[in-house]
Structures are given as structure tokens and as C-alpha cells.
Structure 1
Amino acid sequence: MNFALLGNDSTFIPLVQAIATHGEHKLTIAVNADALMGEISQCSPSTRFSDKWDDFVSNKNTDAVIVAGHDEGTLTIAKQAAAAGRMLLLYPRMHREIAVYYELALIHDDTGVLLFPWFQDRFDSRVRKAKELLSSGSIGEVVRFQFDEELSGDEGLYLNGGQIDDALMQDVDLIRYLGGEYNQVTSVRSGETEDGISLQNVSLAGGEVAEATIQVKVATSTPKRALTIVGQQGTIELNLSGDESAVTVTEGEDVSRPTIPTNDPLPDVLDRFQQAAQGNIVAPNWADAIRAYEIVEATARSLRRRRTIDLHFESTSERSLFKTQMTAVGCGLLLLTLLMMLGLLGLGTFLDPSDSVESKAAAAGFIVRTEEFVDEQSRDSIQFTEKVDQIAIRMQKVNASVLIEQSSSDETDRSRREKLIQQLGDRGVQDAEQRVLVAEIRGDAARTIMRIARVAWMLPLIVFLLLQILIVITKPATPANQ
């Protein structure tokens, strides 16, 4: 499999080395990875370097992209690569906005492209041994998980929020992998100053899973990671920061340390990725990344609100994403309809002749168009004379002005007005001078524009409401026994 590297995160150098030594994989190109050029060239001399992201998006020889960065530019390129059908391997970090995870999930549902999160603990032989012991029931039903992590802080005194959140992404996934789904999150910090944080506790709970506590603090010496699993019949202790006594199992008074062959997890990462690329269902998947992110994001909300946060998960499916999109579109259309209504009211003020002099004249038939003024010798003069006769009769009964359509010449307009006033006066209309006006006739064009505007105002909302039928069509059938 041909890989491309996007970004300059040094976390991925061991993975690049694993690709270089793997017989079936190859790193063909590195984009925007100038900071890693020396290390990459040393382990993979044939790798080509480029600063043009479309080099691997348009290159069909590139099968997958390793996203080694979390800045906005790198993530934008990653989304474009996924949309173009390139598989992605990412290291989940909290620096990425949750919208990025959901956008990639939408691309996955649309194109079926593989999105593979690299949760490193899942490929550790010590964690796999613990999973095996839990599955065998060697310590009985699990009562509690206790995860302790010590990180190197700034000047050895404090941690920043980004460090803690990135560590929690991996820790939370490990707890989920061993314990199950959690939907209640409580987080508390201690020793927080302007310089940073010295300790953060996160408590996880769920309906049918054992409670879990994660403690992240500043390391007093070297960084450490340790997980203690307490069961009704014993405990399992995992030392994830060293090889000696990596797993300790205590059953009553018996203490055992099963032999665990040390393994390099990176070839397993590549093999699992290749299995997923071949269409096999493997874990972790992108839903695991979203779940971990939502739990860690909930810790920040818990800190702000100083209370437990309840999470309500539902499976990330095409249907749920469709409903989310339709809800967002519906809210947007409702707001757009309101704004368009205000615009329509403003447009009507200028264009709609309703309740105006023009509308009354149009209703009474008192509008004389430019083309109706003809020479007396013309055959059409008879029709014009008949219209003037009708106007003169109606003016005795209807209180409306007579409007002459304005032309491009003021002199012509005055002449036509005087002519019409004279003819109406000859027919006995006493107030023709006051009631005959020259005006711009907007009626036909204005009414057409207003009709189009009214349709444009309501059409998007009507179409959206009709599309709601799709929700009913896509609703799964309910079993008869429910």
C-alpha cells in the first residue's frame, strides 16, 4: 500500500519507520513535512517531498494519507483528500474542532472512504492481555477502573489544557475499549493557576458499566501511565510506561505476573489498517474517535458548569446524520423565510401599488397608456374616443384619478394631459383639471415582480417540508412484538 504523509507532527515518525521496514507498504510522498525531512529521508530515502497538496490527491498511486498535523490548513487538505477517495489514518487530538470529526463522518457516509483513528493502546500487548483476562472472568465482575497518568509539565510544575485533553483522548478510548460505553462525565481540577494545571480528575459513569476514574497530574520524575482494574474477585494492574511487571493479577492472596511477549504495536496498526481497507469490520473505527472526543469535550463543559454532564449517544449512521442535516437545514430555512418576509415587505412598499392612486385608477379603468394616444385620422382614434366616453361617465360615479402613463418627454406629457382634460371637459366633467394626472405606471411589472417574490419566499420552505417525507420513508420498520 502506498502512503502519503501530510503535515510535520513528529509523533508519526515511528509509524513512518514501520512503513519503511514493512514489505508491503511504502511512503511515496510527504507534503508540507519540511520539519521532518531529515528523519524521513534517513528511514525512507525514496520518499519524495512536496509543498503541493494536490500531488497526492490527484495521484491515483496514493492509496492512503497519514494526517500528521492538526492545523486548519492540514485538516482542510485532509477533508479534500477524503472526498477524493483517499483513505485517512489520523492520530486523534483534541486540538481538532468537533465539526472536523462530523464533517469527515459525513464524507465517509457519502463516499465510503476509510477513516482510521490511531488509538495506540489498543495495539499494546499488555492491554490485549488485560482484555483477555477480563473476558475470561478471572477477577469476576469489574467494579472500578482507576487510570493514573503523570505527564511532564512546563518547567516541571504545571500542565496546560491541551496536554491534558490530548492525554485524555487516548485514556478515554482505553477505558471504553475495556469497560464499555459511558454517558456521564464529571471533571474537577486542582492546583489551577494562571501558569497552568497541576492535577485533573475525570469520573466516568454509565448504566451498566463499572465506574472509571482518570487522574492526570504533573510528573514528579519520569512520566507514568498505570491502569488498575478492580473486580469482585481480584485486581489487574497494568503498567503502561515500562516493560517490567507490565501486568499484575491479584486473586485473593495469590499474585501472578503473566508473561507477555513484548511487541512493536506499529506493524499491527498497519495490518489492521490494511484489513479495514479490504472491507473487513475492524476496531477502532471513526465512531470510536467521535465518542472519545465527545467524552473529552464533556470534561470541559463539566469544568465550566461545575456539574456532571449527561451524554446521549446514538449510533453514527446515515439516517442519524441525515436527520441532523435536515434539522440544521430546516432551522436555516425558517430563519431565511423570516428574513425574506421582511425583505418582501420592504419590496412591496416600493413596488406593490395596492391601496395607492394607481390601484384605484386601475380598478376603475382610468389608466390611459402611451400607445392609446393616436392621431385623430387613425382608425384607433375611434377606440380612444370610446374609452374617453367611458371614463367621463364613470368619473361621475367613482372618486378616482385618471392616470396618463408617463413618457420620456415632459412636453409630450403636458400636451396629452391638456388634450385629455379638454375632451373630458367637453363631456361635462367639471373637475378634470384636478383629477387627470401624469404618472409612472408600475402596475404590470410590479405585480409580476411581487408574484415572483412571493413564490421565491415560500418555495424553499415548501420543498423542505415535502422532503420530510423522506424521514418517514427511511424509518426502520418496527418489529411486531414491540
Structure 2
Amino acid sequence: MNLGLLGFDDSIATIVAAGHRSGDRVVMACDLPATAPLLTQGGVPPRAVPWESLLDTEGCDAVLVGADGWNETRAEAVRKLVQAGRTLVLSHPLEMSMLWAYELDMIRRDSGAILIPVLPDRLHPFIHRLRLWIDSQSVPGGVESIGMERRLRDRSRESVQSHFCRDADLVRELAGAPVRLSTLGAADADQAWSTLAVGLTAPGHPPVRWQVVRSESPGLTITATAASGSVSIGIPADPPAGESSLWSWTGPGAPDTQTPFDGGAAILARLRMAVSPGHQTDVDQSLTLPLCASWDDAARGIELAETISRSLAKGRGIDLHQEEFTEIGTFKGTMASLGCGIILLALMFVVLATLLGGIARQTRWEFGEQLAGLWPGVVLGALSLFLLLQTLPLLIGSRSESPPAISPPPSPTPPPSKRA
């Protein structure tokens, strides 16, 4: 594949490194830092271009979007690329804004663009294996809880939110879509991030507790506890580009297992399938279990991360509503607000017209009486215009079916677990 770059960061570096190993090329780049590693392997540096050149489907097969140095210019470029129907691989999170994420999703529904967020962890066989183990513990007792311990050196608000935003995808994969989020931390909301604990609950699923812990060995530990025992997965911090991370599995009834995992190669395999659905990837099929995260999954993660601030500020749990953000839904919401505004203005206009008419009659002001007598026509005209606006969706037309966030290939049969 020929790849284009719009910005750069460590997540994109892992994909570029995996591409170099498999013969893919970065042929054009835009808005890169002064020294971006791994871009000149093979002796041919990418061609520096303005972002508008990435709109051309003949120039590259897909565009990788990085987060370092994120700015409004790059955000607008991403919007235009999605409008053009390009295939994008997006570092996650790019912008901690739920509105921006759902704006891209609505544009994608119209343009048919393929958006692949860089969320490779759910593709590891251990996550699939843990989900099967959780399902198998339905009787007796079931899984009591799932704990996620996120070890960080930098426990600033930005760092904690970014890591939770990515880990939220694993929460949704293992314990379903949360319907309530609650937080526990220091009394001062600004100081709570360094020791933050987040509780998430979903009907019919075990509760999840996600917690920040200070450590010089960053990573994530997932522990599912049931009456029959507990299972733990150790996920190290993202390794340098071109290297694999070593995941560990500890659980009852099986010896401890360690498996290397290259997240960049897993995302690249999904990208090949999206660009060429009939392509048979040479990447280990165990890396493509289950379906890759969609842009909707990424947007939900940003929504959950934003909700943490609200929960800390209010000091209570927040109910979550799984709303579907669509253009027709946005139109209906806007019309509802506009209708309320028109009714309030009409009532105010009627009151003012009545007062004006009364004063005009007392003072024998003929022009005032004529002016006051216009209110029925003005109100009727405003309401008629509002009703006519309701026909806009019928005139413009809307799609009842929207394209998927990515083109998912058939899920292969899970391979047997490798045991030490």
C-alpha cells in the first residue's frame, strides 16, 4: 500500500514501522514534526505536500493521522478528508471533544469514508479469551467484578483522560456499554486525577473499576474475579516502534502464558482488509480477533472520558444515554429549540401588541392601532414558516442505511490458546 501521513505520533510510528517490514511505503506527508523517525527507511523519504494533496485517491491508498502538535488546521483537514470519502487511520484520541467525534461520524455516514481508530488492544487473543471466560462464568456465581489498574508516570489530567479514553474500548468489549459512571478521587476536582478511580456499570454485566496508580513501570492490569477464581492479563506500555509488547495471562486451570503482540501490525492488517476486502493478509490470523474498533466505539470512549470531569465537578454518578447522533436527530433537536423560541417570541409580541393597541386607542393614535392590528398576521406567518421548515428532510432526502465505520471482514475461527 501507498500511505499518506497527516501529523505523527508514537501510535502512527508503530503502524509505519509495521508497514516498512511488509513492504508498504509512506509516499507523502504533511504537517510532520521536524524530526519524525522511521520515515526514511528504505532510503526514500516521503514527499512533503500540503494537506489538500491527500484528497487525491491516486496519491495514496489511505491517510494516517497523528496527534502530536494537533491544531485547528489539522482538524479541518480531517473533516475535509472524511467529506471526500478517504480511508483514514486515526490516532486516538485526536481531540478530547465528543462533539467533534460525532461530527466526523455524521460526515462519514454521508460520504462513506472508512475511519479506523488506533485501538489495537481488543484485537489481542487474550482479550477474546477473557471475554469467553467471563461468559462461561455465568453459573455458578458469575464474575463478581472486573478491575483495571492503569499504571502511569505522568498522572496529569491530559494523560489520565487519554489513557482512559483508550481503555474505555476494553471496558465496552469486556463488560458491555456502561449506563452509569461514577468517580472517586480527592475533594478538589483538579487534584483528583492523580488518584482517580472510575466505576462503570452495565445491565447484565459485572461492574468495572478503573483506577490510576503511580508506577515507574507503566502498563495496564486487567483482573476479572469470580467465585471459581480470578484471571489476570498484564499489558505493558506501548513499546518503541518496530517492537512487540509481551502480554501475560494468569488464571486458574492453565499455566501462565506470555504472548508477543504488535499493535501496529494488527491495525495495518485491518487497514489492508478495509482497502482491499478480498486481500489475504499474511499477518497471524490470531491478531484479527475480534472485529476492529469502529469510529463509533472511539467516539463513545471520548464521551466517557468527558463525563469524568462532570462526575468530579458534581460529586455524583452520571447516567449515560446511548444516543445515536445522526443528521436527522440533530435537525429534530434544532427544530424543537427553534419552535420553543418562536412560541415565546409570539407570546411576547402578542402582549406588546395588546399594550400598544390599548395605548393607541386611548390617545387616538391611528397608526398605532393599525400597527397593533398586524400581530395575527405576523404570528401566523412565523408559525407557517416554521412548519414549512419541517419538510426540509423530505426535500433533501436522507439515507436510512449508513455505511459501517470500517468494512469488517468475516471473523476467523479463534485459534487454540498457546500455553507455556
**Separation (CA, whole Å) in 2 of partners of 1:103 and 1:47:** 30
Shift of 1:339: 6.3
CA distance in structure 2 between the aligned counterparts of 1:120 and 1:307, rounded to whole angstroms: 32
Q: CA deviation at 1:289?
A: 1.2
On the 8 A contact 1:192/1:198 being kept in 2, the answer is: no
**Cα offsets for 1:90-139 (capped at 9, x unmatched):** 12227431111111111111112111111131133433443454456599
Q: Deviations over 1:53-91 (max 9, x none)?
A: 111124543332222124322111101110011122112
Q: Give, in angstroms, the shift of residue 336 of structure 1.
A: 6.3
Say which of 261, 271, 287 aligns to 1:273. Answer: 271
CA deviation after TM superposition for structure 1 residue 345, in Å:
11
The question of whether the paired residues in 2 share the 8 Å contact of 1:17 and 1:43 is answered with no
Matches within 5 A, 1:188-337: 188-190=184-186, 197-219=193-215, 221-241=216-236, 246-251=248-253, 256-258=255-257, 260-278=258-276, 282-314=291-323, 316=324, 321-332=327-338, 334-335=340-341
Distance 1:173 1:266 in 2: 17
Amino acid at match of 1:232: A
- Aligned position for 2:416: none
Change (3 A) 1:109 1:464: same
Aligned to 1:460: 385
Deviation at 1:211, TM superposition (A): 0.6
Q: Is the 8 A contact 1:20 1:44 kept in 2?
A: no
Partner amino acid, structure 2, of 1:130: L
Checking the alignment, whether the CA contact within 8 Å between 2:117 and 2:293 is kept in structure 1 is: yes
1: CA distance, partners of 2:146 / 2:76:
37
Q: Which amino acid aligns with 1:303?
A: L
Cα distance in 2, alignment partners of residues 84 and 207 from structure 1: 39
Distance 1:207 1:179 in 2: 9
Q: What is the aligned partner in structure 2 of residue 143 from structure 1?
A: 144
Cα-to-partner distance string for 1:147-199 (whole Å, 9 max, x where unaligned) = 1111112xxxxx21111111101211112112212111011123869778431
Structure with the largest fraction of helix: 1
Q: CA RMSD in A?
A: 4.0
Work out the CA distance in 2 between the residues paired with 1:91 and 1:455.
52
Partner of 1:54: 52
Sort the Cα spacing of 1:195 and 1:466 in 2 relative to 1 into closer, same or farther, 3 A. Answer: closer
d(CA) in 1 for partners of 2:226, 2:96: 36
Q: Over residues 198-220 of structure 1, what are the superposed CA-to-partner deviations in whole Å (9 max), with x where a residue is unaligned?
A: 3110011121110110111222x
Q: Secondary structure at the match of 1:3?
A: strand
Aligned-partner Cα distance in 1 for 2:325–2:347: 36
Compute the displacement of 1:238 (Å): 0.7
Q: 1:274 to 1:465 in 2, by over 3 A?
A: same
Quick one: distance in 1 between partners of 2:394 and 2:96? Answer: 35
Task: Return the alpha-carbon distance in structure 2 between the equivalents of residues 19 and 184 of structure 1.
Answer: 40
Name the CA shift for 1:475/1:4 in 2 (closer, same or farther; >3 Å): closer
**What is the rounded CA distance, in whole Å, between the counterparts of 2:121 and 2:331 in structure 1?**
34
Task: Give the match for residue 75 of structure 2.
Answer: 75
Q: Of the two structures, which has the highest relative contact order with CA contacts closer than 8 Å and spacing of 6 or more?
A: 2
Residue in 1 that maps onto 2:90: 90
The CA distance in 1 between the partners of 2:246 and 2:368, in whole Å, is 94
1:299-448 pair list within 5 angstroms = 299-314=308-323, 316=324, 321-332=327-338, 334-335=340-341
Q: Is the contact between residue 203 and residue 213 of structure 1 (CA under 8 Å) also seen in structure 2? A: yes
The amino acid of 1:307's aligned partner reads R
Distance of aligned partners of 1:57 and 1:332 in 2 relative to their CA distance in 1, 3 Å threshold: farther
| C-alpha distance in structure 2 between counterparts of 1:285 and 1:160, whole Å | 28
**Residues 25-36 of structure 1: matches in 2 within 5 Å?**
25-36=24-35
Partner of 1:395: none
Alignment check: 8 A CA contact 1:333 1:460 kept: no
Residue 165 (structure 1) aligned to one of 161, 168, 171: 161
Q: CA separation of 1:95/1:196 partners in 2, compared to 1, >3 Å: closer, same or farther?
A: farther
Amino acid in structure 2 at the alignment position of 1:335: G
CA distance in 2, matches of 1:182, 1:338: 38
Cα distance change, pair 60–459 in 1 and its aligned pair in 2 (3 A) = farther
- Structure 2 unaligned blocks of 5 or more: 238-244, 279-289, 402-420
Summarize the Cα distance change of 1:49–1:120 in structure 2 as closer, same or farther, 3 Å threshold: same
Paired amino acid for 1:30: A
Select between 338-347 and 77-86 the one with higher mean Cα deviation: 338-347
- On the 8 A contact 2:137/2:226 being kept in 1, the answer is no
In structure 1, distance between residues paired with 2:159 and 2:274: 30
Number of positions where the alignment pairs a residue of Structure 1 with one of Structure 2: 369
Q: 3-state DSSP class of the match of 1:198?
A: helix
Give the share of equivalent positions with the same residue, in percent. 21
Change in Cα spacing, 1:139 to 1:146, as seen in structure 2 (3 Å) is farther
User: Is this contact kept in 2: 1:276–1:282, CA < 8 A?
Assistant: no
Q: Which amino acid aligns with 1:240?
A: I
In our comparison, the structure showing a higher alpha carbon Rg is 1
Instruction: Give the conservation status (yes or no) of the 8 Å contact 1:125–1:261.
Output: no
> Contact between 1:337 and 1:461, CA under 8 Å: does it hold in 2?
no
Aligned AA (1:115):
L
Using the alignment, how far apart are the partners of 1:201 and 1:195 within structure 2?
13
Q: Say which is worse superposed, 335-344 or 270-279, in terms of deviation.
A: 335-344
1:176 counterpart residue number: 172
The offset of 1:278, in angstroms, is: 4.9
